[in-house]
Chain A
Amino acid sequence: MSVKSSSIDWAALLKRQEAAFAAADAPSRDPEREKALLEERARQLSRQPERAAGATGIECLEFLLSGERYAIELSYIAATLPLTDFTPLFCAPSFVLGVTNLRGRIISILDLRRFFELPALGLSDLNRVIVVADDRMEFGVLADSIVGTRSVADGELLPLPDTFTGPREEFAAGVTAERMALLDMGRILSDPRMVVHEEVG
């Protein structure tokens, strides 16, 4: 029996458990540590503008579509919202996902993947809608997920590779070195194909 008991070090186990409980009971927010963390972050943040201040760039929102990275200029973006509720529209083109209610306004949601002939991944709670608008047009663009805002310097933008064909070539303003395509939102908004005006008999 004594031989068997040596395989389990109960004392060590109990010590570990005590330590775990102590950690759980301890105040989760260590003020000093938190302060240090915040200071670190502040330092990081205070450094970034210096880097950005060197050149004029385009503030844009980066997002993912079928695993590819795209970006939209912030100036066109009204808001982002989760794809909570939407109503599919019958007899609409396939790139029109449907309509949704944005604080009392009905806006349509476009699925650029269809437009760009990208493989569709299906919808989930994590899908986001980026509401874009200008003075004439307003609609939502479906995104798989939103990466975040970033600024793209003018020099960063490279001409479009040969792989961009069709609508993508048409709507992309440029591609960064990280293969992020900046969409020419003004062109998309003004494109007549976006306006669906069909009557169904």
Chain B
Amino acid sequence: MLSNMKIRSRLAIGFSVLVLFLILTGGLSLKNIAAEGDLLSEFYEHPFAVTNAIHQVDSNIVRMHRGMKDVVLYASDREDMEVTLAEIDGCERIVYQQLALARERFLGDKGKIDQIKESMDQWKEVRGRTIALVRQGKIKEAIAFHKTYARRTVTKIDAQVNEVLRFSFGKAESFAQESQRNQRSTFALTAVLVALAGILAALIAFAITASITKPLTDAVQAAERLAQGDVSVEIGSDSADELGQLLRAMGKMVHSMRRLGETANRIALGDLDVDVALLSEQDVFGSAMRNMVASLNSLAENADRIASGDLTIEVLPASPKDRLGHSFRTMTSNVRELTVEIAEVVNVLAGSAAEIMTTVSELASSSAQTATSISETNATVQEIRQTTDLTSQKSRQVYEGAHRSAQIARTGRESVNSAIGGMQGIDERMGFIAERIVNLSEQSQAIGEIIATVADLAEQSNLLAVNAAIEAAKAGEHGKGFAVVAQEVKNLATQSKQATSQVRSIIGQIQKATTAAVLATEQGSKAVEAGVKQSSEAGESIRQLAASIEESSNATLQIVTSTQEQAIGMDQIAIAIQSINQASDQNVEGSRQIEAAARNLYELNQKLQQLVSGYKVA
């Protein structure tokens, strides 16, 4: 029902419903506010006024009672008393006025107000009596009277006033309760109405929006699919409104596009016999399609001629922006040039194939030479390998020899050290010998001295013998025997002298010998020193020798290791040469294959030349 209406009428109906509901709610609220106002004025008219009046009555009664007390107590001051009495009369007037007001407004029993009035009248009489007594100066009687009657009357009035006040308060309370009740009911009603209005507004808004947005959403989805090129979408509507018309028009557009797409698809599949029908005079798509088909047909004819080997054709592009035409023209010219170039290349290829064949034959012969060289190299490597083994063996022997030499050098050093020690011992002994010899020399000196003494003795003996001989001569014949003795003594003395001279000469010889011996020992000592020095030098030389032997030993060790490495390297070289040999064999084999391939290439070239000659270039 809603969808068949125009969108404007839908919006108008919805807004009218909402405005009606708002008016209803406002009326109800106004009515309730008026009732509340009535209740408030009534409250002010009655219980509030009565209470106020009664309160004034009560306070004035109290003032009057206090004034009476003053009158009774301070009766001495007459002027003051008169002022007080006038005040009491004022208060009494106010009391009567207020009582009249209260009686008019009082909603309860008006009799209670009348009772207060009666009590007041009674108290007036009592007061008159008391005042009269005071005026008469009967103060004590006045006090007694006042005590007896005034207090009783005032108490009674108080009770009555309180009763009226209680009633008035109760009435005020009932008024307040009613007002609250009224307020609560008004609030509830208004709330319900506002809530109902909100719900209704939401429902109406939803219904209208939904009736507009749904067809629009369909249309938008269909348009998006169309924009993506999907023409399979079906668009249609039964509604009579503006959106329905829009959707139906879109459906027609989609149908037309679908037909165009099918035609284009057939062209794309290569069907150039398709007939494109124009939908109208302004059918741009249709005429474009027709032109395209015609242009493609002319291109296809050209392509057929090229395929049949006629490269002389000249393709004319449909327009300066005809990329396909341009490409086709470029292609044909390129193919033409390519064919010419291929023909040239084929010629070059023929020459190259011939060259390859000659090169391959040279390669084969050089491979054979390589093979002989390799076999020679292999023999050389074997020889070097054996030499290396020999070198390794010899260097090991040299190393061992050097090791032994180092040990011998060490022993030699020790021997030299002990020799130095021995020489130093010899030096000491030499010194000892020299000392002893000097001692001997000194002792022989002592002997010389002794010998000198002996010589002296011999001389004296000689002289004595001479004297004896003289004496014997003097004795004459008797002294002959004594002369013999004297001669003998002289002889002995002479012999002693000779002996002493011999001893002296021997001592001289001994001293010479000792000097020579001392010199010899000194020389010996020097020789020993030189020997020690030479031995030290020899030791140093041996040490250096040992060091150099050690170095040579290390060097030979390195030689041993390096010759071993050399041997390993030689083995590797032998293996490598083996590989080279194999590679050379493979090279020969490969060159043979290359030769066959070159022959094939030559044949292929012949075929290619025939093929190229089939194309008509100019």
Spell out A's residues near B (CB within 8 Å).
1, 41, 45, 49, 59, 61, 74-75, 77-82, 125-126, 128, 146, 148-149
Contacts and interface: CB of A to CB of B under 8 A. Distances in A.
A146 B463 CA distance: 8
Interface in B380-420: 419
Given A41-B488, A74-B473, A148-B490, A61 B466 contact: yes
Contacts of A59: 473
A59 B470 CA distance: 9
Contact of B473 (A41, A75, A82): A75
Contacts of A61: 466, 469-470
Contacts of B487: 45, 149
Contacts of B459: 82, 126
What DSSP secondary structure best describes chain B's contact surface? helix
Interface in B440-487: 456, 459-460, 462-463, 466-467, 469-470, 473-474, 480, 483-484, 487
A80 B467 contact: yes
Given A41-B491, A45-B488, A80 B470 contact: yes
Interface of B: 419, 456, 459-460, 462-463, 466-467, 469-470, 473-474, 480, 483-484, 487-488, 490-491
Contacts of B470: 61, 74, 77-80, 149
Contact of A79 (B462, B467, B490): B467
Given A74-B474, A79-B470, A80-B470, A128 B463 contact: yes
B463 A82 contact: yes
Contact of A149 (B419, B466, B488): B466
Given A41-B491, A45-B484, A149 B473 contact: yes
A81 B464 CA distance: 8
Contacts of B473: 59, 74-75, 149
What DSSP secondary structure best describes chain A's contact surface? strand
A149 B487 CA distance: 9
Closest 4 CB pairs of A and B: A74-B473, A149-B469, A59-B473, A80-B466
8 contacts: A61-B466, A61-B469, A75-B473, A80-B463, A80-B466, A80-B467, A125-B456, A149-B466
A125 B453 CA distance: 13
B466 A82 contact: no
Nearest to B456: A125
A17 to B, nearest CB: 12
B460 A75 contact: no
Contacts of A148: 466, 469, 490
A45 B474 CA distance: 20
A81 B463 contact: yes
Contacts of B480: 49
Given A61-B469, A148-B490, 19 more contacts: A1-B419, A41-B491, A45-B484, A45-B487, A74-B469, A74-B470, A75-B473, A75-B474, A77-B470, A79-B470, A82-B459, A128-B463, A146-B463, A146-B466, A148-B466, A148-B469, A149-B466, A149-B469, A149-B483
Contacts of A146: 462-463, 466
B190 to A, nearest CB: 151
Contacts of B483: 149
A55 to B, nearest CB: 17
B484 to A, nearest CB: 6
Nearest to A146: B466
B474 A82 contact: no
B491 A82 contact: no
B410 to A, nearest CB: 20
Contacts of A80: 463, 466-467, 470
Nearest to A126: B459
A77 B472 CA distance: 12
Nearest to A148: B490
Contacts of B463: 80-82, 128, 146
A126 B460 CA distance: 10
Nearest to B462: A146
A12 to B, nearest CB: 16
A75 B466 CA distance: 13
Nearest to B486: A149
Which of A1, A61, A79, A148 has the largest number of chain B CB atoms within 10 A? A148
Nearest to A45: B484
A53 B467 CA distance: 23
A181 B419 CA distance: 74
A74 to B, nearest CB: 4
Nearest to A37: B495
A45 B492 CA distance: 14
B458 to A, nearest CB: 12
A148 B488 CA distance: 12
A79 B483 CA distance: 14
A84 B568 CA distance: 111
Contacts of B469: 61, 74, 148-149
Contacts of B490: 148
A75 B469 CA distance: 11
A61 B490 CA distance: 13
A148 B483 CA distance: 12
A90 B460 CA distance: 30
B474 to A, nearest CB: 7
A69 B288 CA distance: 189
A76 to B, nearest CB: 10
A35 to B, nearest CB: 14
Contacts of B462: 146
A128 B462 CA distance: 11
Contacts of A74: 469-470, 473-474
Nearest to B422: A1
A134 to B, nearest CB: 13
A86 to B, nearest CB: 16
A82 B460 contact: yes
A78 B466 CA distance: 11
B497 to A, nearest CB: 11
A59 B476 CA distance: 10
Contacts of A126: 459
Nearest to B484: A45
A131 to B, nearest CB: 10
A82 B490 CA distance: 15
A59 B460 CA distance: 22
Contacts of B484: 45
Contacts of A1: 419
A148 B419 CA distance: 66
A79 B463 CA distance: 9
Contacts of A49: 480
Which of B466, B469, B474, B488 has the largest number of chain A CB atoms within 10 A? B466
A141 B38 CA distance: 215
B482 to A, nearest CB: 12
Contacts of A79: 467, 470
Nearest to B527: A4
B498 to A, nearest CB: 14
B418 to A, nearest CB: 11
A74 B480 CA distance: 14
Contacts of A78: 470
Contacts of A75: 473-474
A128 B467 CA distance: 12
A183 to B, nearest CB: 15
A108 B253 CA distance: 201
Nearest to A151: B473
A72 B602 CA distance: 163
Which of B419, B460, B463, B488 has the largest number of chain A CB atoms within 10 A? B463
